[in-house]
A and B are shown apart, each in its own frame.
Chain A
């Protein structure tokens, strides 16, 4: 019976994980009888791209509150419900704790003492808007890198207030009698000014293009009102939005659902593809595949830890099952992004983090299939988890599927150069992860096991070869892309230099090994240093803020990067400690094994 349990362990663990993931995708419950699911799929144009209104709601709430839903008056408010309130019942939304504020000085500006409460409502901010704007404008004049913590925080708060304010005035101007009234009074003498304001501040465009116009020229509410000012009737879609707004304001579920159905039908007849695409994106956003994947990777890692202490075979296999389930969800998420965006997997810093993790996990699974000792699972789950955490933090900047700037708008080069170089990052990180695993094992394992160490070294060596190949090819392809778009193959741009450093470092590791200059511990310490080089070339060069590649400027991450690199140096130190410091050294005689820690090296030819 026990043997059977071991055999089915990976299947059971994997299936449970997938089942849990499927539960997350289930459609949202009706809120007071209103059809939230139907509403969430309505397409609008924002950031140059057609997306479900659900994506606008989620990304906005993520930017303003750093969360996709929150608790308010003993209920969980979804992003969609929040947006509906913001647009059509601003008096309710303004009382919700929509803003996260962590900076004590900014809180001081609002006259609030810092406590454990980090979330604040617009109503609380409202009396201080002028002051926030004044401080933000003063800080804006200063270069982003030179700003103090307070200045960065106040600029950040101002940007979020501005986004909130735009959303609040996209469908109807806050403080007016609502969209339905605006439609009825569209020809009134004072209406033109309001229509102009609606056009200017609109955060997104909810109305289909005018007949005969290009399919991507969606319209704002203000524009549509203005064109209909003299006409006997307004656009059917605008009228339906008006009814939807009124229904939400009065919480009339029946007429709300009627308006949603009508809006859906109108878009379906004009742009059937749009509705299909937004439907997919709604499912994708709801499923949060990278978040779910991250949780499953943690479980896999925990199962590996348990396997070292108790029932090794059972938990090692269960861990592998979980890892594969996590990888499957991760892969589905990547594939959905590719389909939704119509782009190769890596288009920005966020997606590079997702892809680096995916590459490391897939390599780890292959290693596990070859060696079957649980190391592959451990390093793959750890790398997958780590990179998805990084991605999670990068996603707080808003839409992760933004449109590509002209210079990057080339699926061919995104698919070749960017993907190859990102696989190179994956490989270098995975080799580093194996080396860290090796180091920790040396210091924690109760007995010295030269065979396992040798296996780990040969795994790391293989992965370094792999990483050298992909980072070299990726780097040169990048040069070729630069030659195609800027006219120079190699410009010593910081990002290019970062990629070159990875290539050089991997080449040094391999040559040092071939020359026999480094042995086991040396190779492993060098592999850990590869993590430092890769993290710097991936994120560090963006912080310099120079060069043609500095699209993804970021300063918040500086300390995280510094801490990561410091930890890697510490691990290198641990790795290089002679064997008498190892945990298992007391148990065995120092003479066992070759001096310098075994033979990872070969003699030069």
Chain B
């Protein structure tokens, strides 16, 4: 067999494989296995970690007990999803003829592809943040739900602050970090993703910190939290250096409340480890948060936040009521009533950026319509066959 012919055979075999119905079934079954595994894993891992391990991964890894080695045990959700998408597209193009009889299936599969694209897009582009706002407060930033930053804030000018952020991932790498926009370089001397911060006892080893509250605090490393309800208490030792001069080693942590500051060439800089912030070109004021219960019970009846939206750039000034099942969609973000606190004076809004949020809506309509068309055609055909059979039988018996 010459090589072009061989290549052709291989290509045909490959095409057969990628378009086969068996592959579809294998992919669907693999998805079922992943979904079951992901669901069960949530009991111990928490939702976020379980989804990352099983669904938003190309390969599922498992540790061989006692060795610390990980081996690939199963294709991950992302891989199965990709293969299934390729399978549907290829099979559709190759096998399914263009006819009215198959119109339903075309629509169904187009809708499914859109749904997969939507889920891929979500996993890549969706950003979740939150806005915790007290009654009467005005905020013009949202905080990322996951991910911290070390904010270096120039507070010299009382009218406004200049904020320079160093993301958590950069701190975790260690070494020297030049804070762009300032003359400061941070020397990262230690990073703890999760730690217990306690008052130093006599038995604790000497603290690396030489300035700030960190001198009196002992840091004990902890394993990162797994539950979605818990928060990592991260900590880092950093040494700001500017103009060849060190300003001491500071302990920063997202659980330390008071900001710590030092002065360099007449400018005051604060150091603060906090949730990563995204500043908005508009401001939101919480005018009133309401939390109603049914009389005589503590069953919540309604939560709502009356906010004022102010966007001078667009000349917009208006009040918006955000309540359950009724988010505010504005400027690519959606604000949802998520939680509350501080004796019903603090409202917590979930803020989501998802450029592909509309895709599932379209896909749902497509698939539903496609299934109706397809099953409608099948039902009609089978009814016709039944009535034909019945009339034959009728002729035979009469």
Contacts and interface: CB of A to CB of B under 8 A. Distances in A.
Contact of B295 (A216, A413, A472, A505): A216
Nearest to A45: B296
A488 B128 contact: yes
Contacts of A605: 95-97
Given A477-B364, A484-B327, A405 B300 contact: yes
A497 B35 contact: yes
Contacts of B250: none
Interface string A464-505: 011011001100110111011111111111100110110011
B51 interface: yes
B51 A487 contact: no
A49 B97 CA distance: 58
Given A409-B302, A511-B21, A514-B21, A47 B336 contact: no
Contact of B375 (A46, A469, A504, A505): A469
Contacts of B360: 476, 479-480, 483, 489-490
A604 B296 CA distance: 62
B299 A405 contact: yes
Contacts of B38: 492, 497
B325 A410 contact: yes
A350 B379 CA distance: 33
B60 interface: no
Given A406-B324, A477-B364, A47 B294 contact: yes
A317 interface: no
B126 interface: yes
A512 B25 CA distance: 7
Interface string B78-113: 000000000000000001110000000000000000
Contacts of B301: 48, 403, 406, 409
B350 interface: yes
Nearest to A500: B35
Interface in A378-410: 402-403, 405-407, 409-410
Given A218-B295, A476-B367, A486 B336 contact: yes
A372 to B, nearest CB: 11
Interface string B367-398: 11001100100110010000000000000000
Interface string A409-427: 1100100000000000000
B22 interface: yes
Contacts of A604: 21, 95
A477 B324 CA distance: 17
Interface stretch (B42-50, B151-159, B312-320): B42-50
A515 interface: yes
Nearest to A408: B324
A498 B43 CA distance: 15
A402 to B, nearest CB: 7
Interface string A166-209: 00000000000000000000000000000000000000110000
B95 A469 contact: no
B357 to A, nearest CB: 6
Contacts of B371: 468-469, 472-473
A216 B297 CA distance: 12
Given A472-B367, A504-B28, A505-B32, A490 B325 contact: no
Contacts of A466: 375
Interface string B171-195: 0000000000000000000000000
With a 10 A CB-CB cut-off, give which of B38, B324, B334 has the most chain A CB atoms: B324
A407 to B, nearest CB: 6
Contact of A48 (B296, B361, B378): B296
B29 interface: yes
A490 B126 CA distance: 12
With a 10 A CB-CB cut-off, give which of B29, B38, B360 has the most chain A CB atoms: B360
Contacts of B35: 492, 497, 500-501, 504
Contact of B32 (A216, A492, A501, A512): A501
Contact of B299 (A48, A410, A487, A497): A48
A216 B95 CA distance: 63
Nearest to A533: B32
Interface residues of A, number: 63
Contact of B25 (A45, A410, A511): A511
A344 B130 CA distance: 33
A218 B296 contact: yes
A486 B378 CA distance: 38
B324 A485 contact: yes
Given A483-B357, A487-B327, A512-B25, A492 B47 contact: yes
Interface in B110-148: 115, 118-119, 122, 126, 128
Interface in A518-560: 541, 544-547
Given A47-B297, A48-B294, A469-B372, A494 B42 contact: yes
Contacts, number: 170
B232 interface: no
State which size class the interface on B falls in: 35 or more
Given A489-B122, A504-B28, A517-B22, A462 B379 contact: yes
Contact of A490 (B28, B39, B122, B378): B122
B276 interface: no
B74 interface: no
B347 interface: no
B275 interface: no
B338 A486 contact: yes
Contacts of B97: 605
A517 B378 CA distance: 20
Given A407-B324, A476-B367, A508-B25, A465 B378 contact: yes
A217 interface: yes
Contact of A501 (B36, B302, B351, B364): B36
A547 B47 contact: yes
A544 B21 contact: no
A209 B118 CA distance: 52
A477 B360 CA distance: 9
A250 interface: no
Interface in B289-341: 293-297, 299-303, 324-327, 334, 336, 338
A311 to B, nearest CB: 23
Contact of B55 (A49, A489, A492, A511): A492
A541 B42 CA distance: 11
A121 interface: no
A458 interface: yes
Contacts of A498: 39
B43 A473 contact: no
Contacts of B352: 487-488
Contacts of B249: none
A469 B369 CA distance: 10
Nearest to A536: B36
Contacts of A490: 119, 122, 360
Contact of A403 (B51, B118, B297, B334): B297
A453 to B, nearest CB: 16
A277 interface: no
A485 B299 CA distance: 18
A507 interface: yes
Given A469-B372, A476-B364, A497 B39 contact: yes
Nearest to A475: B364
Contacts of A507: 28
Given A501-B35, A517-B21, A604-B95, 13 more contacts: A45-B296, A47-B296, A403-B297, A465-B375, A476-B364, A476-B368, A479-B364, A489-B354, A490-B122, A491-B47, A492-B42, A493-B47, A604-B21
10 contacts: A45-B296, A205-B296, A402-B299, A409-B301, A480-B360, A486-B350, A489-B357, A489-B360, A511-B28, A515-B21
3 tightest CB-CB pairs across the interface, nearest first?
A48-B294, A487-B352, A515-B21
Interface of B: 21-22, 24-25, 28-29, 31-32, 35-36, 38-40, 42-43, 47, 50-51, 55, 95-97, 115, 118-119, 122, 126, 128, 293-297, 299-303, 324-327, 334, 336, 338, 350-352, 354, 357, 360-361, 363-364, 367-368, 371-372, 375, 378-379, 382
